[in-house]
């Protein structure tokens, strides 16, 4: 071996030793204190609120957006363009009934970068990216431009969402996490409550672009708070120079870019099929079959790759195989994915139903969603309080929430297929909303109690990634059902030109004769029923998945007086 090679090996070994030596133990984590703690918590809550509001605030403004930009047939892409970038890394190109280059994001990559250069710098970079492309969305002159900006906005959101939760876990000692977890879960639920109302007000006044601009002022305040109050070495990892992100083989292995690209492919291809079938091609077409096969192969290749590299020197898989053997966490993963489907479908398509069938304004549609979103907030707060004060095990609450979701979705599916929404429907909103609030709240709270500390960043990113992936798939399924019904049921009723105009701009239905309006309304009502029926399966699968959290010798439960290394040691405050 030559002298330069020996020197390089010695240097690499020394860097590894220094990294281990520099990493703080739990008893040395720097916890903010006093006004710094208040600023950090408030800044993190604002970040979490804004990124979660991005789906709900658009729900009541979609009709206004697509009518202005002539893109009703791309309604699902406006939301999934944001959601899909939470599930991968880098993109190829995608046809959206035309050519539109898109970028897909990387929740797991952001959390891994935070392990390298520190939480604070990574979170601020993600928030700046999110805000920059929120501004770009507001400036979009066409629906394709909007979808592209939404994708890049999702890249920033993919970092903001898990990193705010990860920073929250490392802001206070473990015994105080339940209280902080309750605050953050409420912030998520409040985004669901206020988003449709804010979006409705802005859309009703023909100011839908402010749906995106509204992120800028509070986002800037959050950045300022975190810059001032958050310690540079916040969390359980040392803060290194950005120079450590210089492209290299070592960084390539560290970020697991191969796994990220495979994950993107596995997620994006089936969602593309669901969104574009019945619009750009048919189910029996070679394009649809080829994309589905490629997606299945990508999933197999992803898990095979992650299995092979786990334990190899220099590699840090984004899905360590040891997590596959953590039964409780796998149950939470399935529940989080499955709950994302009905949650997003109800928020988006129930708001659409109010506007399309009952001709309500965006504001009125947002008000009609309050029973659903408000009870989600109440369910989240109640579940966290039950864990904190009542010491009720996580598994029982998640099982209860899953049952409520299933009952709620089943009730939605029996709503009469008419233009009017029955009074009982608001009761169904209450049941389904309470159920999903409980499950989301507990899944957010339980992560640090069911995984090892070394897996906290990966588990947090993956769990939340699955929630947004579930939302993207749920919306894609709902869109496919709706477009399929419109094309098949109205083919003999409308001319090809009228049908195309309807798919591009739903408001054109008001220009048609009354008889045609009634026929179109019947098809829309039928498609909503079919959407709810499809969502029953996603709600029901959470019931057996919750049983995976059962364990012998006592269930996972919050213990406020629980003593851990981080609590009993010499906690550092600033």
Q: Determine what percent of the chain is predicted with pLDDT higher than 90.
A: 28
Average pLDDT over residues 444-456: 78
Could you report the per-residue pLDDT of 74-84, keeping only the tens digit for each? Answer: 887 888 888 77
CATH no. of 323-552: 1.20.1250.20
Identify whether the C-beta of residue 349 lies closer than 8 Å to the C-beta of residue 60.
no
Residue 137 clears pLDDT 90, i.e. is over it: yes
Q: What is the pLDDT of residue 60?
A: 86
Which of 523, 453, 424 lies closest to 27, judged by CA? 453
Average pLDDT over residues 436-444: 85
Residue 283 clears pLDDT 50, i.e. is over it: yes
Q: What is the pLDDT of residue 461?
A: 66
Q: What is the pLDDT of residue 570?
A: 34
Residue 140 clears pLDDT 50, i.e. is over it: yes
Identify whether the C-beta of residue 351 lies closer than 8 Å to the C-beta of residue 369.
yes
Residue 526 to residue 486: CA distance in whole angstroms? 10
Q: What is the pLDDT of residue 215?
A: 94
What band does 387 get if pLDDT is binned at 50, 70 and 90?
Answer: confident
Cβ neighbours of 427 (radius 10 Å): 13
Q: Which residue has the tokens 């090679």?
A: 5
Q: Which residues pair with 100 in a beta bridge?
A: 94
Q: Which residue has the tokens 């089943």?
A: 410
Which of 241, 266, 545 lies closest to 395, judged by CA? 545
Residue 393 clears pLDDT 50, i.e. is over it: yes
Q: Which of 195-204, 232-241, 315-324, 378-387 has the highest mean pLDDT?
A: 195-204
Q: Which residue has the tokens 């066409």?
A: 142
Could you report the per-residue pLDDT of 328-337, keeping only the tens digit for each? Answer: 889 999 999 9
- Which residues, other chains included, contact 67 with Cβ-Cβ below 8 Å and sequence gap of 6+? 505, 506, 507
Average pLDDT over residues 315-332: 84
Identify whether the C-beta of residue 154 lies closer than 8 Å to the C-beta of residue 267.
no
Which of 132-146, 170-184, 412-426 has the weakest average pLDDT?
Answer: 170-184
Q: Which residue has the tokens 């979103």?
A: 373
Q: What is the pLDDT of residue 423?
A: 93
Asked whether the whole model's pTM tops 0.85, one would answer: no
Residue 434 to residue 540: CA distance in whole angstroms? 15
Determine the Cα angle at 211 with ends 209 and 217, to 5°. 105
Q: What is the pLDDT of residue 28?
A: 59
Average pLDDT over residues 280-291: 87
Residue 499 to residue 501: CA distance in whole angstroms? 5
Half-sphere exposure of 19 (CA within 13 A, CB side): 14
Residue 569 clears pLDDT 50, i.e. is over it: no
Q: Which of 480-484, 500-504, 534-538 has the highest mean pLDDT?
A: 534-538
Residue 493 clears pLDDT 80, i.e. is over it: yes
Q: What is the pLDDT of residue 72?
A: 82
Residue 573 to residue 179: CA distance in whole angstroms? 19
Determine whether 361 is exposed, middle or buried from the number of CB atoms within 10 Å of its CB (0-12, 13-18, 19+). middle
Query: What's the alpha-carbon Rg for the chain, to the nearest Å?
Result: 24
Which of 223-232, 309-318, 331-340, 528-537 has the weakest average pLDDT?
Answer: 309-318
Identify whether the C-beta of residue 524 lies closer than 8 Å to the C-beta of residue 513.
no
Identify whether the C-beta of residue 538 lies closer than 8 Å to the C-beta of residue 330.
no
8-state DSSP, 94: E
Could you report the per-residue pLDDT of 103-128, keeping only the tens digit for each? Answer: 334 676 787 788 888 888 899 999 99
Q: What is the pLDDT of residue 457?
A: 65
Average pLDDT over residues 22-46: 75
Q: What is the pLDDT of residue 2?
A: 52
- DSSP for 450-517 reads HS-GGGHHHHHHHHHHHHHHHHHHHHHHHHHHHHHHHHHHHTTTS-HHHHHHHHH-GGGGGGS-HHHH
Cα diameter, the chain:
87
Q: At what angle do helices 370-388 and 177-204 cross, to 10 degrees?
A: 170
Residue 86 clears pLDDT 70, i.e. is over it: no
Residue 496 clears pLDDT 60, i.e. is over it: yes
Average pLDDT over residues 17-32: 50
The topology under which CATH files domain 30-235 is: Growth Hormone; Chain: A; (1.20.1250)
256 φψ region: left (φ > 0), alpha (ψ -120 to 50), beta (else) = left
Q: What is the pLDDT of residue 9?
A: 40
Q: What is the pLDDT of residue 100?
A: 31
CA-to-CA dists, residue 282 to 148, 522, 559, angstroms: 24, 23, 54
Residue 461 to residue 159: CA distance in whole angstroms? 9
Determine whether 21 is exposed, middle or buried from the number of CB atoms within 10 Å of its CB (0-12, 13-18, 19+). exposed
Q: What is the mean pLDDT of the chain?
A: 81
Could you report the per-residue pLDDT of 146-204, keeping only the tens digit for each? Answer: 999 998 998 898 889 878 888 887 888 777 777 777 788 778 778 878 888 898 888 88
Average pLDDT over residues 382-404: 86
34 φψ region: left (φ > 0), alpha (ψ -120 to 50), beta (else) = left
């Amino acid at each position: 071996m030559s002298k330069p090679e020996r020197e390089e090996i010695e240097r690499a070994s020394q860097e590894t030793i220094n990294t281990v030596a520099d990493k703080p133990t739990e008893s040395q984590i720097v916890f903010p204190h006093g006004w710094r703690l208040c600023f950090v918590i408030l800044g993190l809550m604002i970040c979490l609120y804004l990124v979660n509001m991005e789906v709900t605030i658009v729900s009541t403004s979609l009709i206004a957006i697509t009518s202005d930009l002539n893109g009703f047939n791309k309604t699902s892409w406006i939301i999934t363009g944001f959601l899909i970038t939470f599930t991968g890394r880098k993109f190829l190109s995608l046809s959206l009934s035309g050519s539109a280059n898109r970028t897909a994001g990387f929740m797991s990559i952001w959390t891994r970068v935070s392990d390298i250069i520190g939480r604070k710098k990574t979170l601020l970079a993600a928030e700046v990216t999110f805000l920059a492309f929120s501004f770009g969305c507001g400036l979009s002159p066409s629906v394709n431009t909007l979808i592209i900006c939404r994708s890049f906005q999702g890249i920033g959101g993919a970092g903001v969402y898990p990193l705010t939760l990860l920073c929250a876990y490392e802001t206070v000692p473990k015994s105080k996490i339940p209280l902080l977890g309750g605050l953050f879960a409420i912030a998520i639920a409040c985004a669901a409550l206020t988003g449709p109302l804010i979006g409705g007000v802005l859309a009703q006044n023909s100011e839908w672009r402010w749906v995106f601009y509204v992120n800028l002022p509070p986002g800037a305040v959050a950045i300022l708070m975190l810059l001032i109050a958050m310690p540079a070495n916040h969390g359980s990892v040392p803060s290194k120079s950005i120079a450590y992100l210089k492209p290299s083989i070592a960084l390539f292995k560290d970020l697991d870019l191969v796994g990220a690209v495979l994950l993107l492919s596995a997620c994006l291809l089936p969602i593309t099929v669901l969104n574009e079938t019945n619009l750009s091609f048919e189910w029996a077409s070679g394009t649809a079959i080829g994309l589905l096969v490629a997606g299945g192969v990508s999933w197999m290749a992803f898990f095979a790759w992650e299995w092979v590299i786990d334990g190899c020197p220099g590699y840090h898989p984004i899905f360590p195989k040891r997590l596959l053997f953590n039964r409780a966490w796998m149950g939470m993963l399935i529940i989080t994915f499955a709950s994302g489907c009905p949650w997003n479908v109800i928020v988006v398509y129930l708001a659409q139903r109010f506007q399309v069938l009952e001709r309500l304004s965006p504001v009125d549609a947002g008000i009609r969603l309050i029973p659903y979103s408000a009870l989600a907030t109440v369910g989240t707060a109640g579940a966290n309080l039950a864990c904190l004060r009542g010491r009720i095990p996580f598994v029982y609450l998640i099982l209860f929430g899953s049952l409520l979701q299933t009952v709620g979705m089943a009730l939605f599916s029996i709503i009469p297929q008419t233009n009017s929404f029955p009074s009982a429907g608001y009761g169904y909103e209450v049941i389904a909303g309470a159920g999903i609030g409980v499950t989301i709240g507990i899944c957010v709270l339980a992560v640090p109690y069911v995984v090892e500390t070394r897996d906290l960043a990966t588990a947090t990113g993956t769990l939340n990634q699955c929630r947004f992936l579930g939302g993207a798939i749920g919306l894609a399924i709902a869109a496919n059902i709706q477009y399929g019904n419109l094309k098949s049921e109205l083919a003999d009723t409308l001319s090809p030109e009228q049908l195309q105009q309807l798919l591009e701009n739903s408001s054109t239905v008001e220009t048609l004769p009354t008889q045609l309006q009634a026929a179109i309304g019947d098809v829309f009502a039928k498609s909503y029923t079919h959407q709810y029926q499809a969502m029953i399966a996603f709600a029901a699968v959470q019931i057996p998945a919750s049983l995976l959290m059962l364990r012998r010798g006592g269930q996972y439960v919050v213990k406020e007086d629980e003593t851990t290394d981080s609590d009993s040691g010499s906690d550092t405050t600033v």
